[in-house]
């Protein structure tokens, strides 16, 4: 692992970088226009061809070190990849998790686990797309999760339930967070949870039941039910009881990359709104000549550019191995807000046509709304900043 850069040596370059990567991603996305995504949504189908194209181009292995067959790129490059996917009108949601989930395996897995799994994840032979954390009763209060994993000889036996576990039916592997020591037996509530790597092909139907949840976007997400699921002890990642700390390590990357997707969405909305406003003629002049149409689009552009700067700051701090929790949270907040407001402006600019599926505005509008809630809600970001940045009393 490379050493951390001193905080005073961290700089945030301005402008569009990784131009070759961006252009390559745009060329891939051009093969998957709006009609492709509308057809998938109508059939509630997974974008297998799109995910395969990104995998074969090596983009889903961008953050995997070269020694394991990946590109070994910085988070800043991964953010550029996801931004371009969304700015092109596509959706990285069906596959983006692999970029940040594998970090737990990379940072805390054993040498044997990394050499066994990471090369196959890099080539696409294995998909690590599912992350079982959230539960129906505890929600974001992760330390109160009830899924238990009890050691029994050379394996663990798991009982419990997860919800909103995305891509479980299109992944080979899943990271699972379960409590290995009861809550009333630990000194700190964040202790006693462990991370396991689950082979989904072996687990489904043999102690694991997957129940899809229909939702407002074409996003495969599920409830998981564990009933005497056996996981080999060798699939424990890191030390038993330290799983909560391990997942926290990856949250900054997750939030920064989601911010990149939101920024891509926002630029897509702004481009579509501005183009339509120039072309749509009402009362013998383009509607974009009216300030009532211009101003919301201009406001969205301003907000997006500001969010973009915080996104890059979070990326560069992360890549320099510097603390970036505040920046990652603020980037996610600002970008999700910018994309949602840009979506509103775009829909309003299109008027009735914004609700027509063939324009793709309503699809992207629904997709970007998710990030007001996931992977962390706006209110929890407020709480984080209030407590950890402003020094205010913890509110929960």
Q: Are residues 208 and 265 in the same domain?
A: no
Displacement of CA 129 from its chain's centroid (Å):
10
Say how many C-beta atoms besides its own lie within 10 A of residue 317's C-beta.
23
Tell me the pLDDT tens digit for each residue of 147-169.
999 999 999 999 999 999 999 99
CB 277 within 8 A of CB 294: yes
Q: Are residues 364 and 251 in the same domain?
A: yes
Q: What is the DSSP string of 359-378?
A: GSHHHHHHHHHGGGTSSS-H
Which region among 13-17, 187-191, 251-255, 291-295 has the lowest average model confidence (pLDDT)?
13-17
Tell me the pLDDT tens digit for each residue of 260-270.
999 999 999 99
Q: Does the residue 79 lie in any domain?
A: yes
Residue-number span of the structural domain to which 223 is assigned: 128-242
Q: Does the residue 69 lie in any domain?
A: yes
Give the pTM: 0.94
Tell me the pLDDT tens digit for each residue of 322-346.
999 999 999 999 999 999 999 999 9
Given 179, 211, 242, the domain boundary residue is 242
Q: Does the residue 395 lie in any domain?
A: no
Tell me the pLDDT tens digit for each residue of 276-314.
999 999 999 999 999 999 999 999 999 999 999 999 999
Q: In this structure, what CATH number is given to the domain that contains residue 168?
A: 2.40.110.10
Nearest to 319 by CA among 85, 80, 119: 80
Given 123, 157, 184, the domain boundary residue is 123
From CA 168, how far away is CA 313, in angstroms rounded? 32
Q: Are residues 108 and 145 in the same domain?
A: no
Q: Does the residue 143 lie in any domain?
A: yes
From CA 293, how far away is CA 271, in angstroms rounded? 14
Helix (H) or strand (E) holding 192: none
First to last CA, the chain: 36
Q: Which pLDDT value is given to residue 15?
A: 64
Query: Structural domain tally of the chain?
Result: 3
Say how many C-beta atoms besides its own lie within 10 A of residue 338's C-beta.
29
Q: In this structure, what CATH number is given to the domain that contains residue 45?
A: 1.10.540.10
Residue corresponding to tokens 């974001």? 140
Torsion of CA 223, 244, 376, 378, to 10 degrees: 140
Tell me the pLDDT tens digit for each residue of 380-389.
999 999 999 9
Q: Are residues 116 and 153 in the same domain?
A: no
Q: What percent of the chain has pLDDT over 90?
A: 93
Helix (H) or strand (E) holding 148: strand 148-152
């Amino acid at each position: 692992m490379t050493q951390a850069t001193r905080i005073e040596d961290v700089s945030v370059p301005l402008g569009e970088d990784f131009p070759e990567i961006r252009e390559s991603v745009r060329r891939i996305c051009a093969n998957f226009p709006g009609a492709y995504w509308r057809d998938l949504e109508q059939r509630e189908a997974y974008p297998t061809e799109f995910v395969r194209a990104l995998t074969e181009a090596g983009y889903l292995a961008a953050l995997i070190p070269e020694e394991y067959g990946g590109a070994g790129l910085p988070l800043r490059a991964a953010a550029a990849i996801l931004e371009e996917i969304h700015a092109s009108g596509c959706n990285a949601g069906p596959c983006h998790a692999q970029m940040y989930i594998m970090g737990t395996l990379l940072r805390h897995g054993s040498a044997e686990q990394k050499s066994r799994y990471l090369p196959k994840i890099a080539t696409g032979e294995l998909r690590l797309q599912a992350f079982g954390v959230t539960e129906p009763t505890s929600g974001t209060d992760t330390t109160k999760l009830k899924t238990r994993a009890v050691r029994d000889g050379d394996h663990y036996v798991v009982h419990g339930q997860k919800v909103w576990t995305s891509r479980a039916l299109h992944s080979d592997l899943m990271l699972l967070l379960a409590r290995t020591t009861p809550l009333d037996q630990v000194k700190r509530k964040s202790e006693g949870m462990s991370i396991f790597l689950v082979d989904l092909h072996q687990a489904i139907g043999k102690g694991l039941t997957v129940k899809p949840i229909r939702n407002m976007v074409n996003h495969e997400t599920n409830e998981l039910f564990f009933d005497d699921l056996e996981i080999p002890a060798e699939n424990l990642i890191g030390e038993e009881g330290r799983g909560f700390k391990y997942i926290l390590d990856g949250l900054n990357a997750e939030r920064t990359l989601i911010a990149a997707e939101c920024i891509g969405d926002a630029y897509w909305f702004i481009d579509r709104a501005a183009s339509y406003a120039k072309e749509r003629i009402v009362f013998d002049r383009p509607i974009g000549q009216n300030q009532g149409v211009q101003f919301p689009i201009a406001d969205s552009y301003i907000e997006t550019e500001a969010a973009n700067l915080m996104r890059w700051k979070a990326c560069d701090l992360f890549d320099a191995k510097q603390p970036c929790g505040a920046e990652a949270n603020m980037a996610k907040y600002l970008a999700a807000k910018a994309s949602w407001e840009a979506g509103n402006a775009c829909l309003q600019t299109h008027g009735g046509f914004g609700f027509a599926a063939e324009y793709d505005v309503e699809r992207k509008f629904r997709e970007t709304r998710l990030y007001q809630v996931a992977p962390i809600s706006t209110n929890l970001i407020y709480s984080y900043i209030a407590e950890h940045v402003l020094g205010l009393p913890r509110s929960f």
